[in-house]
Amino acid sequence: MSKSKIVAAALLATALTAGRAEAFCLFSCDPTADNARSVFENRLKQKFDPDVKVVKFEVSRFWQLDVEGAGHKAVEFYFTGTAEFPKGANLDCKPDEAGAVKEGCSASKYFSTTVSNQEIKGRQYIEPGATIEFKDETRFDQAPSGWKGQDGKAY
């Protein structure tokens, strides 16, 4: 038996005995809940504070999409994530005594990491030491380099 046949047989045996689908993946693997958590954490750091800590993350549902007209697949994850902000976030956006915020800041108490047309556009103040629960979603779009997350990275 040639070396290439032995290697191919070993790879096939490994694939057939793998306990979980994501444990051995060669082609077009779907994003996982761990990937969704990574996107959530990256978006928190981009949007709020680099020192944020994700303390809880649970996917409530996900499904695959066929993005009509775009010619590619997508996967959406809906989740609940809890994050601690030891230093707070966007401290310069703290509302004044009357509740007014300065330009470029948002007074909204709805916190989201979703990249969509409904995303809160202004920067949001988070009090130092606050723990916030996010009921949110994230989407991965199939790309030649893998699955592109809403944090701009490939998974």
Whole-model pTM above 0.85?
Answer: no
**pLDDT single digits (tens) 33-85:** 999 999 999 999 999 999 999 999 999 999 998 776 667 899 999 999 999 99
Please name the residues in contact with 79: beta carbons below 8 A apart, sequence gap of 6 or more.
Answer: 33, 36, 37, 40, 57, 58, 59, 60, 134, 135, 136, 137, 138
Over residues 86-123, the pLDDT tens digits come to 999 999 999 999 989 999 999 999 999 988 767 788 99
**Residue 27 carries which DSSP code?**
S
